[in-house]
């Protein structure tokens, strides 16, 4: 499809499209075959809501095929340009090559046909001329030109005709003039391509060129300024124009007086620029900003290892500043302010060293950034781990950046940047484990001696095998006393002696011989402790429940 245009002055209810139809045609008059085939140039006006056509027009129904300037490439001709086709079903003859349609406010259509080097006007369905719909009202340029070209100007192989203004007598049109006609391989009509604005008078049948925006490299020869195909011309609201240069992958913006305001080209000059437009627009990407934080080493040194951040957000048009934060703990913060930097072109480089030093005494392994608009509102954010090159990048990195790693290497590299933030983690872990071990040993030791001391307490009378020689009526009291003592010992570790025979007395278990302690020694120790227990009991007096 060579043309698709929404008709805005009709409220966007319909649009125009060019259509190529393959049709049989006897091509013997043009050195072709009897059962030949052509590509007929047609266009349709279609309703947006229903998709149904309200008007259709085809060239072979209204025009003579002899209007073409691109002859049939039969086997008997020597033309080297093969774009026209050989007239067979696999390679039909593109005799017209319609590439642009525009509708005026009177309901008529202005059509550009490249292989005719012509613009022609077609009567619309409800035209004011009383003409049959589809009638060709006039032809401008090409073999059958109905107009006098004032001041001897021309166009050829043109693209993107547009109606700028319509009155009862005149049409103001814009068009891209390729300036290249292939009757043979050297056929040219101009030394450079250009954008043109013209006024066509329907009454006097004259055409006048009012503006011409010639390629800015016209002085370098036609190879640098003449485009064989494609191209566009759009008049701007301020009277200037934006011109796209087709097979020359470039575009230029002009002031109304022809001054070049802007010129751009694809870096490798490959491909081509079919059409160029200029519009006011706001870009709001669905993806977050991209950032790389970099430090040559794990030190925050302004000269040898500054903390640098490089941030961009492709397509975001509202960003005016970047606000940075740093963290020394995790990628989730807590975050410490790292400074606000104005947006500086596509990618902003921010030196966070001094801002970090004001609040931190050491390296910051994590960086967070917010994109701000003119009012200070946050548009988007991202966070990264600071990249610090490892040994494999030796010779490729300096104090400010590395020369070869891609963004994805920065993302995936298990760099020193992350390990700087985690450098103390193994040490801290070892210390925590050691502290836990010491605490466990202390607790176990304490419980051991606590339990041994309690087991060696006496309750007055002799106790054998736990409660063997204690009177049966005292067993429950002793058991209750032992449970109560357990609770008291767990709460405040009170090691003071308690009243013999009371509810708080400790249960007595015989000393069992251990390593280096004979049975006789153990019996003597038991006897000694019994005597000491009786003396304590006699000094303290009887308990509430009596003497044991």
Digit-coded pLDDT (tens) for 406-421? 544 554 454 444 445 4
Going by the DSSP 8-state scheme, the letter that residue 473 receives in this structure is: H
> What are φ and ψ of residue 459, in 5° steps?
-115, 15
Q: 290-422: what CATH class?
A: mainly beta
pLDDT, residue 110, reads 96
Task: State yes or no: pLDDT of 433 exceeds 90.
Answer: no
Which stretch of DSSP H or E encloses residue 447? Answer: helix 425-455
Tell how many helices (H) and how many strands (E) occur in the chain. 7, 24
Question: How many other C-beta atoms can be found within 10 angstroms of the C-beta atom of residue 218?
Answer: 16
Task: State yes or no: pLDDT of 470 exceeds 80.
Answer: no
| Residue 365 vs residue 428, higher pLDDT | 365
| Residue 61 vs residue 479, higher pLDDT | 61
CB burial string 36-53: b at 16+ within 10 A, e below: bbbbbbbbbbbeeeeeee
Cβ atoms of residues 27 and 47 within 8 Å:
no
Tokens of 304: 């040898």
- Collect contacts of 65-68 with beta carbons under 8 A, ≥24 apart: 65/25, 65/30, 65/38, 65/95, 66/143, 67/96, 67/116, 67/118, 67/139, 67/142, 67/143, 67/144, 68/95, 68/96, 68/115, 68/116
Percentage of the chain beyond pLDDT 70 is 65
Summarize pLDDT for 166-202 with one digit per residue, the tens.
998 999 999 999 987 654 344 456 788 999 999 999 9
Summarize pLDDT for 140-167 with one digit per residue, the tens.
999 999 999 998 899 999 999 999 999 9
pLDDT, residue 50, reads 92
Summarize pLDDT for 218-267 with one digit per residue, the tens.
888 878 888 888 999 999 999 999 999 999 999 999 999 999 999 998 87
Question: How many other C-beta atoms can be found within 10 angstroms of the C-beta atom of residue 213?
Answer: 27
pLDDT, residue 85, reads 85
Strands (E) across 236-307 are located at 241-244, 250-254, 260-265, 290-294
pLDDT, residue 431, reads 54
Task: State yes or no: pLDDT of 105 exceeds 70.
Answer: yes
| Residue 128 vs residue 426, higher pLDDT | 128
Going by the DSSP 8-state scheme, the letter that residue 225 receives in this structure is: H
CB burial string 86-116: b at 16+ within 10 A, e below: bbeeeebbbbbbbbbbbbbebbbbbbbbbbb
Please compute the mean of the pLDDT values over residues 452-457 and round it to a whole number: 46
Which stretch of DSSP H or E encloses residue 287? Answer: none
Summarize pLDDT for 264-306 with one digit per residue, the tens.
988 777 788 889 999 888 999 999 999 988 887 776 665 667 8
Tokens of 69: 């300037």
Task: State yes or no: pLDDT of 390 exceeds 80.
Answer: no
Task: State yes or no: pLDDT of 386 exceeds 60.
Answer: yes
At which residue do the structure tokens 């309901």 appear?
A: 107
Going by the DSSP 8-state scheme, the letter that residue 333 receives in this structure is: B
Domain boundaries defined on the chain? 1-145, 147-280, 290-422, 456-540
Summarize pLDDT for 12-40 with one digit per residue, the tens.
789 999 999 999 999 999 888 999 999 99
pLDDT level of residue 523 (50, 70, 90 thresholds): low
pLDDT, residue 111, reads 96
Tokens of 432: 């925590």
Percentage of the chain beyond pLDDT 90 is 44
pLDDT, residue 361, reads 57
Task: State yes or no: pLDDT of 548 exceeds 80.
Answer: no
Tokens of 518: 């004979």
Q: Angle at Cα 260 formed by Cα 254 and Cα 262, nearest 5°?
A: 85
Summarize pLDDT for 77-102 with one digit per residue, the tens.
544 444 678 899 999 999 999 999 99
pLDDT, residue 296, reads 76
């Amino acid at each position: 499809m060579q043309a698709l245009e929404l008709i805005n002055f009709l409220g966007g209810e319909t649009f125009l499209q060019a259509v190529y139809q393959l049709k049989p045609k006897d091509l013997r008059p043009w050195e072709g075959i009897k059962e030949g085939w052509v590509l007929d140039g047609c266009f349709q006006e279609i309703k947006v809501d229903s998709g149904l056509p309200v008007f259709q027009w085809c060239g072979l129904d209204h025009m003579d095929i002899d209007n073409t300037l691109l002859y049939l490439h039969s086997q008997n001709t020597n033309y080297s340009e093969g774009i026209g086709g050989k007239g067979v079903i696999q390679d039909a003859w593109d005799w017209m090559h319609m590439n642009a349609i525009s509708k005026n406010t009177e309901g008529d259509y202005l059509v550009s046909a490249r292989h005719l080097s012509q613009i022609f006007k077609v009567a619309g369905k409800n035209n004011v001329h009383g003409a049959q719909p589809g009638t060709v009202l006039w032809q401008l340029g090409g073999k059958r030109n109905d107009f006098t070209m004032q001041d001897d100007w021309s166009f050829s192989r043109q693209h993107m005709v547009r109606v700028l203004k319509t009155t009862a007598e005149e049409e103001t049109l814009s068009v891209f003039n390729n300036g290249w006609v292939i009757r043979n391989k050297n056929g040219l009509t101009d030394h450079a391509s250009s954008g043109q604005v013209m006024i066509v008078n329907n009454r006097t049948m004259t055409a006048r060129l009012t503006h011409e925006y010639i390629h800015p490299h016209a002085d370098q020869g036609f190879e640098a300024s003449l485009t064989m195909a494609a191209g566009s011309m759009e008049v701007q609201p301020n009277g200037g124009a934006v011109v796209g240069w087709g097979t020359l992958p470039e575009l230029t913006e002009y002031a109304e007086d022809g001054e070049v305001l802007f010129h751009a080209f694809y870096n490798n000059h490959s491909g081509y620029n079919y059409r160029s437009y200029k519009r006011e627009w706001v870009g709001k990407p669905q993806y977050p900003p991209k950032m790389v934080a970099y430090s040559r080493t794990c030190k925050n040194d302004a000269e040898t290892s500054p903390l640098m951040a490089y941030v961009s957000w492709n397509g975001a048009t509202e960003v005016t500043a970047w606000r940075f934060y740093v963290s020394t703990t995790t990628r989730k913060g807590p975050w410490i302010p790292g400074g606000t930097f104005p947006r500086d072109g596509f990618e902003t480089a921010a030196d966070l060293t001094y801002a970090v030093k004001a609040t931190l005494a050491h390296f910051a392994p994590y960086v967070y950034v917010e994109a701000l608009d003119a009012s200070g509102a946050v548009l988007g954010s991202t966070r990264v781990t600071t990249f610090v090159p490892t040994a494999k990048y030796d010779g490729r990195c300096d104090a400010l950046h590395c020369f070869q790693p891609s963004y994805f290497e920065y993302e995936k590299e298990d760099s020193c940047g992350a390990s700087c933030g985690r450098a103390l983690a193994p040490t801290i872990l070892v210390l925590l484990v050691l502290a836990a071990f010491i605490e466990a040993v202390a607790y176990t030791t304490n419980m051991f001696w606590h339990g041994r001391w309690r087991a060696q307490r006496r309750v007055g009378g002799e106790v054998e095998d736990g409660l063997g020689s204690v009177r049966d009526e005292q067993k429950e009291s002793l058991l209750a006393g032992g449970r109560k003592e357990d609770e008291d010992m767990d709460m405040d570790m009170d090691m003071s002696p308690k009243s013999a025979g009371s509810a708080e007395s400790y249960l007595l278990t015989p000393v069992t011989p251990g390593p280096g302690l004979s049975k006789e020694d153990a019996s003597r120790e038991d006897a000694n402790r019994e005597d000491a227990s009786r003396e304590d009991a006699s000094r303290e007096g009887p308990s509430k429940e009596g003497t044991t």
